[in-house]
Structure 1
Amino acid sequence: MLTGYLFLVLSGPRLPAAEVTLRISTPMTPPGWALLERELLQSSAQACEKFFARYFDERGYLECVARWGGDDGPDDAIENCNDWPILHALGAPQVVQQMFKKAWSGHVRQFTEAKTVEVPFARDGMYYKEFPVMFDWQHNAEGLSVFNLQSLSDPYDRNYRRQVRRFAGFYMNEDPGAPNYDSQHKIIRSLFNGSRGPLLRKATALDWTGDPIEVENRFHLGHGERNYQEMLAHFKDYNDIVGDHPLNLLSSTLALNAYMLQHEGKYRKWLLEYIDAWLARMEKNGDVIPSNVGLDGTIGGACDGKWYGGTYGWGFSVTVPQTGEIAHRNRQHWGFIGFANAYLLTGDDRYLEAWRKQA
């Protein structure tokens, strides 16, 4: 889902409102549609309460098998509350906000405590410093959906504002343990990135799938795999992750969120620097966004010069293990979110025109 990529409301310093007095003296019966809307909000909130009571414990931990992976990883756990911030922002009772904030806090603790045995980079915790240790931005962004939308109704929460700045800093070289960004070549250095930095080797099926797990007669996996071997087979060709990829443009939402707190210029500067570098690559590549940029900044540099190469790239087609069918799993179009973030900050149509040319 792309819910987590919606742009956030401006949450800068409060400005004094002009004093206006409205006098309403004529009674009015609420229209039927308004009453139905209120009933819908109330009914949805009640459903959320029942769900929360059934599937979350008193700590805000989801009652689940805590796993790492692209099939059933941390992002899937918190996605159970994906639209709750929107529900609250539309006017649902305060209890909805209380639940999704508790779920987010519990989620961070739960997956900081959860550790892998075989996946090497998550053996000390799947989350580190409240953020995924390193994964792709399809899954990172999905796991941030609830967090990103909190500012629709609670942008002044101190912990939220602290986390917004911390997360943005992982991509601005503010944390020496997370050297994700190369400011010389203006690239994020790997498709796998996060609070422990980039993964600078080919990824394995294990990296994507997570530790072995018994599936038969226990779970119905969303991608249709029937056992752990098919889970591994699903990801066996997801190897070429070194270098930058359009999916990483989704990380610019972190800088956008941080800028909207108090308009600190460094966040705007980084966001536009990164998006402008991608805009230049599109222009150099015949107005088509490349799906791999090497560590030296060259288009296709980590995929034998193939601008369309890489995991989730233009040419990324794989075999579905349980059916033998070919599936086309390119994700470069998700990069539009980064260009839309730049447009939101500047109003400059060239960020949208680049994608019109590509259509």
Structure 2
Amino acid sequence: MRGVDRSNGAPPAHGPVLYAVRPVTEVPRWALLERELFAALDKAWRLFSDRYTEGDGRLVFRDRLGVGLDGRDGVDDFYEPFFNWPTLYLLGGSADLLPAARRHWRGVTAQLTEMNMLADGYERGYDWFHQGEGLLLFYGLCLADPADPELRRLATRFADLYLPDGPNYDPVHRIVRAPHNGAEGPRWGFADEDAFFPWSLALRPYGLPLDGIDGVTHFDELAADPERARAYGRAMWDRMGRGDTLVNLAATGLAANACLLTGEDRYADWVAAYTGAWQERLAGRDVLPDNVGLDGTVGGHLDGRWYGGHYGWSWPHGLSSVASGALVGATNAAFLTGEAGYLDLARNPLDAVLRQSEQRRPDERGTLGERWDPHLRSMTAERTLMVPQRHNDSGWFDHTVMPTQLPMALWHFSREESDRERLELLRAGSGWDWSAVHTQRIKDEAGHEEPWYEFLHGRNPDFPERMLSSALESSAERVAAIESDPLDPATGPDALGIHHWQHLNPVVTEALLQLTTGSPQILYNGGLTHLHLRYHDATERRPGLPSDTAALVTDIRPGNTVVELVNTGPAARSVLVQAGAFAEHLIQTARVDEGPPVPVDGPYCRVELPAATRLRLTLTMSVRGARAACASPWETA
């Protein structure tokens, strides 16, 4: 049969072998830009590594963490500069990027251990808004190198900290016992120093965490009066520094990661039990609560309030932390159990604030609005849809544009029409053109969901070229900033400047994730990698697209997934196409160009690309129709 080889009728371990027969008469511009981006990033990460790290991979840093009122903070900031390096390797970055990322992870772990920020390689105890950020590097390494015995051992040990026999979890009330938790179990309160608030004037824009405490009505009253600040801090610690908080749902990422690496059901059982407890707390309520007392009751330390938990609805960020935690927990539970009902937990925060949405002017936005600056500047309408980010005793407040990556990640995972309709509602209420690509780099290296969504729906045909050009520009800006950085390379930043490195990380993966895999950026506060497609170099037996190969996913509908594969070089390439980050999707048929559909009935098919050839691969697949595992395809064959 033209374009397929089934080896005398017996299906190979990795599915049928498909052949490209269409010559490349002119290399598509998107393919050239994609390969240019891979090459630029390969140079960029080396520059960063040479400039800011030492021989064992640690960051150049001569100050100390672990002292003062912010003494628990900072672990995530040391891992974050490398958070997407394993992802770049997974997509097709250079072969030595994986050992480099591993070296930096080990070096930073040793560095943080020396500063007494870790115990047995894991954070001693901090909130999951930050722990989730810091763990992305570890999760990425596990996915990129799942056979590594050390990573597997650490993954299970870290996850066991939260299982029923671990120090953090109360299996009777199904709670994580404190907002700050980790290797040493509950770490009560918010610092190891005397209770005090505010810690930093940087918190001023977010106002007060609690209402009705000692007659305090404004942040500045505490900044001006240390004694009142101490009294407020003690009340805050008593009400917010113990019991469970919604962002702890991100801890399910540790258990999900361990489950995918080992196949042990005990991890899935815990994820289901803990996430299920939060589902029960939502039952009969309009809004997902953000806190649970040590006795298992909602509002147990907050006079019955469903809001007010640490990194919850009231303070400091509201929706972005609440919805992210709910989404991470819900997708982990649905992924491991196959029960889609868990996703209602993630839908509720989004729909709750959408019910309170308003059309507002750009100058009426609240906190966390910087990400939208280029969009709002380009508005053609006077107003745009904004939602309240937060809720306290006075009701909903702090309106800004909904972070699109949250409903986008939910729809990409569920593929439910109701979740796509939520995006359409946001699009209809937007005051700017969703097809526009704005060159910007924010902390989570996301922010281009809207033009990608338009591309997937056939309304933004030149998005690939513009997005890749934007990614090249964004990385080049950081390379230029590194080269002109006045920071002394022998000393590095002080403890107040440890965000310096993450602002200069020149690796950008959002464009490559969207275009080559048909997937959004990873949720930054502890999400696992969920991909529609991924690739392996079948000759080198390593993850990622082979050299000279480019991929463009133009349709992610399960019944009509379309990807263009182009070999831009003079040598033949062999690509193993995998459905899902964990081979969890089941490919039913594959069709080359206009040829007939070929049965696959598995998560893989192999594509042979002779020199200077291309093909269009159309797949029908069942989403999460196969057993997921974090493993190499050659390990499972």
- Offset, 1:130: 0.7
Q: For residues 131 and 73 of structure 2, what CA distance do their matches in structure 1 show?
A: 13
Partner of 1:185: 173
- 2:55 aligned with 1:67, yes or no? no
**Residue 57 (structure 1) aligns with:** 54
Aligned to 1:3: none
Instruction: Answer yes or no: is the 8 Å Cα contact 1:315–1:330 preserved in 2.
Output: no
Q: Residue 182 of structure 1: CA displacement?
A: 0.3
Give the corresponding residue for 2:182.
194
SS of alignment partner, residue 54 of structure 1: helix
Letter in 2 for 1:294: G
CA RMSD of aligned residues (A): 3.3
- Counterpart amino acid of residue 253 in structure 2: T
1:349 aligns with: 340
Residue 42 (1) aligns with residue 39 (2): yes
Match of residue 10 from structure 1: none
How many Å separate the matches in 2 of 1:72 and 1:18? Answer: 46
Whether the 8 Å CA contact 1:291–1:309 is kept in 2: the answer is yes
Does the C-alpha gap of structure 1 residues 75 and 311 become closer, same or farther in structure 2, counting only changes over 3 Å?
same
Which residue of structure 2 lines up, in the alignment, with residue 17 of structure 1?
13
CA, structure 1 residues 19+299, in 2 after alignment: closer, same or farther (shift >3 Å)? closer
Rounded to whole Å, the distance in 1 between the matches of 2:191 and 2:139 is 30
Unaligned segments of structure 1, at least 5 residues: 1-15, 115-124, 216-220, 318-326
Shift of 1:145: 1.2
User: Relative to total residues, which structure has the larger helix share, 1 or 2?
Assistant: 1
- The change in CA–CA distance for 1:100 and 1:243 in structure 2 (over 3 A counts) is same
Q: Distance in 1 between matches of 2:193 and 2:251?
A: 24
What amino acid is the match of 2:65? R
Equivalent residue runs for 1:57-136 within 5 Å: 57-64=54-61, 65-68=63-66, 69=70, 73-114=74-115, 125-136=116-127
Q: Indicate which of 140, 162, 174 corresponds to 1:171.
A: 162
Q: Following the alignment from structure 1 to structure 2, what is the Cα–Cα distance between the partners of residues 207 and 67?
A: 17
Aligned length, in residue pairs: 307
Q: Tell me which residue corresponds to 2:288.
A: 289
C-alpha distance in 2 between matches for 1:27 and 1:343: 43
- The alpha carbon displacement at 1:33 in A equals 2.4
Deviations along 1:231-282, whole A, 9 cap, x unmatched? x98x958632200011100000111111111321111111101111110011
Match of 1:335, SS state, is helix
- CA drift at 1:84: 1.0
Is the Cα–Cα contact under 8 Å of residues 73 and 126 in structure 2 kept in the other structure?
no
Output the TM-score relative to the length of structure 1: 0.76
For residue 246 of structure 1, what is the aligned residue in structure 2?
246
Of the three residues 308, 318, 322, the one matched with 1:332 is: 322
Deviation string, structure 1 residues 57-86 (Cα, Å, up to 9, x no partner): 011111123424489612111111121111
Counterpart in 1 of 2:137? 146
Matches within 5 A, 1:198-347: 198-200=186-188, 202-204=189-191, 206=193, 239=237, 240-284=240-284, 286-316=285-315, 331-336=321-326, 337-347=328-338
Give how far 1:206 is off.
4.4
Structure index of larger Rg: 2
Contact 2:168–2:176 at 8 Å: present in 1 too? yes
Inter-CA distance 93–223: structure 2 relative to 1 (3 Å threshold): farther
Q: Is the 8 A contact 2:334 2:342 kept in 1?
A: yes
C-alpha deviation, 1:21, in angstroms = 5.2
Flag the 1:41–1:280 CA change in 2: closer, same or farther, 3 A.
same
SS at match of 1:298: coil
The 2-side partners of 1:265 and 1:259 are apart by 7
Higher relative contact order (CA 8 A, sep 6+): 2
Q: Residues 180 and 198 of structure 1 are in contact (CA less than 8 Å); yes or no, is this contact kept in structure 2?
A: yes
Cα shift at 1:312: 2.1
Change (3 A) 1:20 1:281: closer
Q: Distance in 2 between matches of 1:101 and 1:277?
A: 36
Q: 1:313·1:332 contact (CA, 8 Å) conserved in 2?
A: yes
Determine which structure has the larger strand proportion and give its number: 2
Whole-angstrom CA distance in 2 between matches of 1:207 and 1:340: 38
